[in-house]
Chain A
Amino acid sequence: KAGVTQTPRYLIKTRGQQVTLSCSPISGHRSVSWYQQTPGQGLQFLFEYFSETQRNKGNFPGRFSGRQFSNSRSEMNVSTLELGDSALYLCASSFRDANYGYTFGSGTRLTVV
């Protein structure tokens, strides 16, 4: 079966711009979580969506937002980009919640200049 698909793979943006990242989970998986990975902070939880509802949220500023569509596809948006937002953004799909284990996408590498 198809894995988790994230687009785009790479992005370069300028400070102050906004960006939207997309994630298509594994078919049948209804939970989509987003993580930010940086060398300094490791894997940090952003938020989780289930059945189009944000079920859980990490400790990130309001500039980070997301949504989930009826087909379980999810998007995350970062507004007013800062240099520190440069990171690998990973989408993780799971059957119902994280306790079933995550399947990660290949990630979107965001560079803010």
Chain B
Amino acid sequence: GQQVMQIPQYQHVQEGEDFTTYCNSSTTLSNIQWYKQRPGGHPVFLIQLVKSGEVKKQKRLTFQFGEAKKNSSLHITATQTTDVGTYFCAGPRGNNNDMRFGAGTRLTVKP
């Protein structure tokens, strides 16, 4: 079935360094969503990408959707301690009304 792979599993950075997490799907996705889960919290919707090659920015966060709509990335510029958490990508499971989540990238930021 459709798989959503996410790397790396963990990333430790010094505050001020950049961070990138990558998401790859075995099939073409109609859209991809990104979520952030703080430690002890629940996933919070960040953004949805729909178009091939789409790039969206939210302050220091940049989201990209690949041309083939099979991969995506989230890049954080100049990380801050508030960026700590696990970042998940999610893609629709076939034509079903549910999302398949990647395993997540856990980001820790050293002050």
Are A58 and B98 in touch, CB under 8 angstroms?
yes
Contact flags (1/0) for A86-113 with B, using CB distance below 8 Å? 0000100000011101111111000000
Assuming the contacts A90-B42, A90-B43, A101-B33, asked whether A48 and B98 have C-beta atoms less than 8 A apart, the reply is yes
With A and B bound together, what is the CA distance between A90 and B90 in angstroms?
15
Q: A43-B43, A45-B100 are in contact. List 7 more A-B contacts (CB 8 A).
A: A56-B98, A98-B92, A101-B45, A102-B43, A104-B42, A104-B44, A106-B42
Tally the A-B contacts, defined by beta carbons under 8 Å: 53
Q: Which residues on B are within 8 Å of A, measured CB to CB?
A: 30-31, 33, 35, 41-45, 48, 88, 90, 92-93, 96-104
With A and B bound together, what is the CA distance between A53 and B18 in angstroms?
45
B41 contacts across to A, CB distance below 8 A: 106
Instruction: Find the B residue at minimum CB distance from A98.
Output: B99
Are B97 and A56 in touch, CB under 8 angstroms?
yes
B35 contacts across to A, CB distance below 8 A: 102, 104
